[in-house]
Structure 1
Amino acid sequence: MTSYKFHAQPLALAVALAGGVALPAAADIALEEVVVTAQKREQSLQEVPVAVTAIGEDALLQNGVTDITDVQKLSPNTTLQVGRGTNSTLTAFIRGIGQQDPLWGFEPGVGIYVDDVYIARPQGAVMDVLDIERIEVLRGPQGTLYGKNTIGGAVKYVTKRMDEDRMTLSGALGSYNQRDIKVAGSKEVGNGVYIGGAVASFQRDGYGENVRTGKDQYDKDVLSARLAVEFSPSDTVWIRVAADQTTDNSSPKHGYRMNADLTAAEPLSNIYDTESNMLHENSVETRGASLTAEWQVSDSVVVKSITAYREGETETAIDFDSVNRPDFDVPAFYEDDQLTQEFQLNWEGDNANLVSGLYYYDGTATGAFDAVLGFINLTQQVAGTVDTKSLSAYAHYNWQFAPDWNLSLGGRYTQDTKEAEVFKANFIGTYSPLFAEKYNPGQPPAVYLNTLTDYTNDDTWSRFTPHLGLDYKINGDLMVYATYSSGFKSGGFDMRGDASTLPSTVDGFDPETVDTFEMGVKSDLFDNRLRLNAAAFYAGYTDMQVTVQAFNPGGGFSSAVLNAGEARIQGLELEASLAITENLLANMTLGYADAEFIEFMSGGVDVADERDMQNTPDTTAMLQLNYTWPMANGAELVINPTLSYRADTQIFETPSQLDQEAYTLFDMSATFYSSDDKWQLSLVGKNLTNEEYRVAGYNFGGAFVTGFYGAPRTVALAGNYHF
């Protein structure tokens, strides 16, 4: 078995050809072709004029990828991290663009897709790897083929199709009492009718504890299941019906208090510990069902329909102050549902092809939370609902107008309509009647004082997002391309908006847009032993949705979301893979992002010089060796050491104590493949030097500064057995 069969991460040319040394000839050493669906049709990675990283099944196993956040190190200029105060909410940024605030009513800037089904909310989006064929990371705006809210890029899960009887039993034991078990498989139950799926339990004790109670912090308690039926009623029709559900009952994750509490001289000694008084359960449930049908109308035309429904519920307890008092406690719940329908028509001609379609989205996101400000005996309740309807039509046309020359033209027209109900009120005391019974039992609820916001409003936004591209094959192994792409993130209404201090909040905020120019090269050199892909990009980011929150002098807090920002982002990306010998691969990624605010309006003043892009280190890099040690009986042992680097990172736009200095993580795995390929055994070590690094946090004017951290050193023994 050759490692990294579908892996598109790579090693720098400087390493590959250091000193100008030529590679020794070896006809049987070559990198294998990588197939992706970045343009909604199967293509070789090297023929796609898009900056995309593809991580296949072998690479996922050898890198010990257990959920989407493990992919961060494998893709340049990419941030995929667990959000603050949660175990399953995703914070995603690509090329400086994303969305950190998971509140209902806000839209992400990086689209998450499972088998072409769009996942609209970040809650539950830290998905565990379950029967996955590959993961693709598309960088840059994907506004034509993937629509709104992909202005940073898109992450695609591609699950396996069922075409054989198979069964796999997987398990893992590791640090902090990790104990995972997965069962996945498929079975032909009739002529061409397959039923299959997977079920998995992921369990782990906490990295820290609540020092007041001894309860775990940063633990994991997740149960996931997926069921599918696939069949072909004729030679030209294929149908899949699928359903899935994930339940996350991990403990609430409270932060580490970085500034000294009034009752303590120094912060706690363990960054994973807390002193929170919020001892309540945390629950995130997501579920969905989909129907996918493909009809091969002719040799050149395929029609596809994707119908999907998803819903989720979250109950969570967020302790902003992370001390044993209700100085700033936030009990909250979120609910969402979405219905999506996409029709695609794909045409393939002799020298041209077309991907086109219609897309409809109908979703509702609702929620409520209390901002319990015990230090002033005040509670602010925020509640609301956003109904969204979106309809779009798109087309992406490729035309080979001359030998080795290809022109791509695309466009998408989208119309978004949102209706919002927003309510915000002050209560004297702690915990409003909505949350008092659960979070403050036996005590009288807070008493209503006054209403700050109470409105219903709607708005409609329309956008056309074009694409223009040109690529040229210099020879069969080298392609250069240039593209222009546009995208936008939906407008909306601020659920925290305080109409008493900012009356214009009832009018909502408009979409933000990104226009990106990119030039790149895709190359397979030295008889396909060196794969070198590079891209340079420039993005103009306008009408940025800037969130400003502050405490009011009279008590409570206020929030404003304004189209008050403009930025430019330019950078470089390099991915390479080198087959040094028949058994040794070297891989590297390198990303550079120069992001700068041009305008940042706050209180009527342009403070662009005092702000920086959040979650956007200027440099990300990964260097990896992959050595396959063949054994006499046909078995193989694959050794996979990895260094990943992230430069200084600012958690929010405003510099603060939360900002994370540059750090390097060292991971290493050893994977044994049996001679009959029926079982694998992996020893996976992550963060082996036990680096401490922040991935999120809260900072309210220095009064409450709490940090959330990446995982410490962990080691796990994982195995797969294929029946």
Structure 2
Amino acid sequence: MNSILKAALLASAAMAAIPGAAAAQAPAQGVSVVEELVVTARRREESLKDVPVAVTAVTAERLEATGAADITTLQQSTPNLTVQVARGSNSTLISFIRGVGQQDPLWGFEPGVGLYVDDVYIARPQGAVLDIFDIERMEVLRGPQGTLYGRNTIGGAIKYVTAKIDGEPEMRFKGQLGSYNQRDFIGSAKGMVSDTLGVGLTWASFDRDGYGSNLTTGAEHYNKDVAAARATVEFSPTPDLFFRLAGDIVTDRSNPRHGHREVAAFNIANQPIPGGEVLPNVYDTRAGAGDKNQVESRGVSLLGEWSASDSLTFKSISAYRAGETAGEIDFDTLPAPYLDIPARYSDHQFTQELQLLYSGDRVQAVGGLFYLNATAAGAFDTVLSQAALTIATAGHVDTESWSAFADVSFDLTEALTLSVGGRYTRDEKTGVVYRQNFTGIRSPLFGNPLAVPGLVRSDFTSTDSYEKFTPRVSASYDFGSELTGYASYSQGFKSGGFDMRADAILTPTSRDGYAPETVDSYEAGLKGYFFDRRLSLNTAVFYAQYQDQQVTLQTPVGASIASQVLNVGESHMSGAEVEGVAYLTPDLSANFALGYIKAEFDEYRALNPLTGVVEDFADSRVFQNTPEWTGAFSLTYQRDLGDKGKISFIPSASYRSSFSMFEIPSRLDQGAYWLYDASLVWTSESERYRVGLHGKNLGDETYRIGGYNFPGGLFANSVTAYYGPPQTVTLSLEAKF
């Protein structure tokens, strides 16, 4: 059945990509048409059709209708995108676009995909699995976006755009009940309290029992306990001035995720460890490291906007964010601490962006300055009970970044537009790294003052600076009011840094840090509407060259673990993407997306621990979190019931081909799988009331989203995996007053 569904998905996308494929179907009178989407991918409002960038935009209405829970839902509808909850956590984000990303969420490391909430850059992955509430839309920009986006958009950018305040005061309440005793509540109150002042407050709680249990402690495993709030004040003293002050906080007290053992455990003497067998329920664990975990992320931002004239606008975006994380990761998933990691992180950042936007008859431009000052700090113990050894690690990274950017579009003719842009970036970083052996279980950093201090493995401070000019150029041609084609070249840049796990004894060169990486991306696409706007179609083909690629390696060496962040070499990626919407009848529409990518290493130079020699492993390394094929297909049937409201039924399927968790293939690699969802939603005629029934993973597919691979007796043969949610059903009730 899966092969038949896959063939149908590919065929439907292929048919949609051929304008003549449905030419015989004349539009019916009164047939629905695809609505035009407005996005801000280039920091100004534009029709999605006119943006020379591969963009997926998902509206709040679509997210609401499909019962989207959090930002990871984008993975099921966006080509060549991986957005998942990081291993060992409930709210830490990992993301990859077209093979570029960063799986390691340790402090000081920076993602390859930029996350932005209302144009504010979110530097930390902890607490970044954003739940869906009080949102206007989400946008995914694929490929390097460094010309217009402040930081770390070498792979692309994800934009979370919250809803603005408009209209009379309104209160909205939404409750959800579902599988595993799910209990969610979202409340909001917002509106204009005068002609110039609007206020809004949204608060939410998300609670759910675990999909499994910790068989050692009896605690819930894979549960959810998240609270969030957002407050906004908007002030417009004159038609030309607008200010927006916003604050938010998210607290996650869910139990830590310790993973599922994939292979039987054995000790340093090669003997089986009692209780170390593979558990039948992938959501169960026998971890003994503890069940306490807390993540908090909070921030405040101020937007100021002045329309100096009909063509000139100035913007200022100031923001401060901070957060803390404290938790446990039990790598071995056993009651005893064969390989346990208690950890804590903290960070804060200040960003300031100044923008100038110009819109003339033939010229449109965006330019500005961006500044970031951030500190990321943390500490963790690596506990190896069989060796009576604890390796304590601590440190911080200070980052100061300046950049200037501009992007200018020229209408050379009525049909042909040329866009030229660039960004100059300079980063200064200071890394402080401490790493020391202790005899005993846990170090003084985590509550054991009796631990005997031993060899200091690292104790250094290093400083470096990185600078780069990254250009972008594109040409777009308007084939008419309904169709636009474009071709572009862009370069992405992510600065170097320092490995907080650096072991100056095993890897002396780690003191020097690692160098920046760059991506040169070439893209061409066609966007538009067909058959009297009954079909919208966005297509893209791309080719990218990845230089000085940063890869995190953790290699067991004797009674220690050598961690290295290396610039392993070069690679290239090529692929194609198709997505669109088609109205088949006035009541029935289809959404589809298809992505293909071929990503290969051209050079992968790393130390071979068996020979002690640096070798090229390009032939045996693969891209992580990058399936060759991604696809999605859904139908939306809407029926107007007159004064009884309307009803919508949305069945959907998404596909991901097999992929690797790491650059080195392992038994943790995930095979191809499908996910099937369905939603049934009733909305009252006044749209004040809504009832929804949402089924997720209706096929109850079991699939991995992360893992750790530490084989061998010293580490209790710790090969563990983390899994996506099982089959769930949620009933949602919403009312507006």
TM-score bracket for the superposition, by shorter chain length: over 0.9
In structure 1, C-alpha distance between the alignment counterparts of 2:432 and 2:335, rounded to whole Å = 34
User: Which of 127, 138, 144 is the aligned partner of 1:135?
Assistant: 138
State whether residues 13 and 576 of structure 1, in contact with CA within 8 Å, keep that contact through their aligned partners in structure 2. no
Instruction: Confirm whether residue 175 of structure 1 aligns to residue 179 of structure 2.
Output: yes
8 Å CA contact retained: 1:147, 1:412: no
- Whether the aligned pair in 2 keeps the contact of 1:147 and 1:487 (CA below 8 Å) is no
Aligned partner of 2:727: which letter? R
Residue aligned with 1:649, SS: coil
Matching residue's letter, 2:105 = P
Q: Helix, strand or coil for the counterpart of 2:509? A: helix
Distance in 2 between the 1:545 and 1:580 partners? 46
How do 1:559-570 residues align onto structure 2 when only pairs under 5 Å count?
559-570=563-574
Distance 2:573 2:49 in 1: 25
Q: Is the 8 A contact 2:630 2:656 kept in 1?
A: yes
* Partners of 1:394 and 1:413 within 8 A in 2: yes
| Structure 1 residue identity aligned to 2:158 | V
Aligned with residue 277 of structure 1, among 248, 271, 288: 288
> Hey, what does 2:597 align to over in structure 1?
593
CA distance in 1, matches of 2:78, 2:144: 16
Name the residue aligned to 1:197: 201
Q: Secondary structure at the match of 2:386?
A: helix
Q: Which residue of structure 2 aligns with residue 482 of structure 1?
A: 487
Q: Larger deviation: 25-34 or 360-369?
A: 25-34
5 Å-filtered alignment, 1:286-685, equals: 286-436=297-447, 445-553=450-558, 555-603=559-607, 604-633=614-643, 635-685=645-695
| TM-score where L is the length of structure 2 | 0.94
Deviates more, 1:649-658 or 1:694-703: 694-703
Alpha-carbon distance in structure 2 between the residues aligned to 1:190 and 1:32: 32
Confirm or deny: 8 A CA contact 1:148 1:490 kept in the other structure: no
Q: Is the partner of 1:12 in helix, strand or coil?
A: helix
Matched residue type, 2:366: V
**Residue number among 94, 99, 102 corresponding to 1:91 in the alignment:** 94
Q: CA deviation at 1:135?
A: 0.4
The one-letter amino acid of 2:546's match is Y
Distance in 2, matches of 1:135 and 1:697, equals 28
Task: Write the distance in 2 (CA, Å) between the matches of 1:15 and 1:584.
Answer: 16
Report the 3-state secondary structure (helix = DSSP H, G, I; strand = E; otherwise coil) of the residue aligned with 1:299.
coil
Q: State the distance in 1 between where 2:661 and 2:562 align.
A: 21
TM-fit CA distance, 1:565: 2.6
Question: How far has the Cα of 1:235 moved from its partner?
Answer: 1.4
- After superposition, the C-alpha distances for 1:655-696 in whole angstroms (9 at most, x for unaligned) are 101000000000000111111111111100000010000000
Greater CA drift, 700-709 or 283-292:
700-709
Superposed CA offset, 1:698-719 (max 9, x none): 0014521000000000000012
User: Contact 1:11/1:586 (CA < 8 Å) preserved in 2?
Assistant: no
Deviation for aligned residue 1:617: 0.2
Take 2:701 and 2:49, find their aligned partners in 1: how far apart are those partners?
A: 36
* Match of residue 3 from structure 1: none
SS at match of 1:103: coil
Deviation at 1:27, TM superposition (A): 4.5
* Ranges in structure 1 where 5+ consecutive residues have no aligned partner: 1-9, 438-443
In 2: Cα distance, 1:407 partner to 1:634 partner: 51
Correspondence for 2:733: 719
Aligned-partner residue type, residue 139 of structure 1 = R
Q: In structure 2, what is the Cα distance between the partners aligned to 1:265 and 1:584?
A: 52
CA deviation string 1:467-520 (max 9, x = no partner): 010011111111110000111112100000110121111111111100000010
- Preserved CA contact (<8 Å) 1:85 1:252: yes
Deviates more, 1:56-65 or 1:460-469: 56-65
Please state how far the C-alpha of 1:447 moved relative to its aligned partner: 1.0
Distance 2:476 2:29 in 1: 29
Equivalent pair of 2:568/2:606 in contact (CA under 8 Å) = yes
Task: Verify the 8 A CA contact 2:217 2:288 in the aligned structure 1.
Answer: no
Q: How big is each residue's C-alpha offset from its partner over 1:373-412, in whole Å with a ceiling of 9 and x where there is no partner? A: 1121110011001000000000000000112000000000
**Is the contact made by 2:326 and 2:344 (CA closer than 8 Å) also made in structure 1?**
yes
Which residue number in structure 2 is paired with residue 239 of structure 1? 243
Aligned match of 2:85: 82
Q: What does residue 6 of structure 1 align with?
A: none
Amino acid at match of 1:469: S
Q: CA deviation at 1:24?
A: 3.1
State whether residues 370 and 432 of structure 1, in contact with CA within 8 Å, keep that contact through their aligned partners in structure 2: yes
Measured in 2, the distance between the counterparts of 1:108 and 1:375 equals 35
- Is this contact kept in 2: 1:574–1:589, CA < 8 A? yes
Which residue identity lines up with residue 724 of structure 2 in the other structure? G
Given that 1:371 and 1:380 are in contact with CA atoms closer than 8 Å, whether structure 2 keeps it comes out as yes
Q: Using the alignment, how far apart are the partners of 1:284 and 1:217 within structure 2?
A: 17
Counterpart amino acid of residue 25 in structure 2: L
Between stretches 608-617 and 627-636, larger displacement belongs to: 627-636
Residue aligning to 1:260: 264
Aligned positions, number = 707
Query: Residues 265 and 218 of structure 1: is their aligned pair in 2 closer, same or farther, counting only changes over 3 Å?
Result: closer
**Distance (whole Å) between structure 1 residues aligned to residue 544 and residue 172 of structure 2:** 44
Whole-angstrom distance in 2 between the partners of 1:685 and 1:516: 38
Q: Is the 8 A contact 1:416 1:460 kept in 2?
A: yes
Deviation for aligned residue 1:266:
3.3
Deviations 1:111-164 (A, max 9, x none): 000000000010110011120000001101101001431111111011111122
Q: Distance in 1 between matches of 2:711 and 2:277?
A: 19
SS at match of 1:60: helix
Match of 1:440 in 2: none
Please state how far the C-alpha of 1:280 moved relative to its aligned partner.
Answer: 3.4
Distance (whole Å) between structure 2 residues aligned to residue 22 and residue 91 of structure 1 = 45
For the residues of structure 2 that align with 1:458 and 1:465, how far apart are their CA atoms?
23
1:465 maps to amino acid = T
Code of the residue aligned with 1:321 in structure 2: it is D
Gaps spanning 5+ residues in structure 2: where?
1-10, 266-272, 608-613
Equivalent of 1:22, from 16, 21, 24? 24
Under a length normalisation based on structure 1, what TM-score does the superposition of the two structures give?
0.96
2:697 equivalent to 1:687: yes
Query: Does structure 2 conserve the Cα–Cα contact (< 8 Å) formed by 1:11 and 1:577?
Result: no
Distance 1:548 1:15 in 2: 42
Distance in 1 between residues matched to 2:632 and 2:432, nearest whole Å:
45
Provide the secondary structure at the position in 1 that maps to 2:643.
coil
Q: Secondary structure at the match of 1:247?
A: strand
For 1:155, the equivalent position in structure 2 comes to 158
Q: Check the 8 A contact 2:503/2:510 in 1, yes or no.
A: yes
Q: Which residue of 1 aligns with 2:719?
A: 705
Give the stretch that moved more between structures: 412-421 or 471-480: 471-480
CA distance in structure 2 between the partners assigned to 1:611 and 1:361 by the alignment: 35
CA distance in 2 between counterparts of 1:445 and 1:585 reads 67
Q: SS at the partner of 1:402?
A: coil
SS, match of residue 605 in structure 2? strand
- Cα shift at 1:20: 4.5
Q: Using the aligned pairs only, state the percent identity.
A: 50
Asked if structure 1 preserves the Cα contact closer than 8 Å seen for 2:251 and 2:295, the reply is yes
1:179-224 superposed Cα distances (whole Å, 9 cap, x missing partner): 0000112133333211112000000000000112221000000000
Q: How does 1:3-42 map to 2 (within 5 A)?
A: 12-14=13-15, 20=22, 22-28=24-30, 29-42=32-45
Structure 2 distance, partners of 1:266, 1:280, is: 21
In the TM superposition, what whole-angstrom CA distance separates every residue of 1:276-299 from its partner, at most 9, and x where no partner exists? 011231000000001001000001
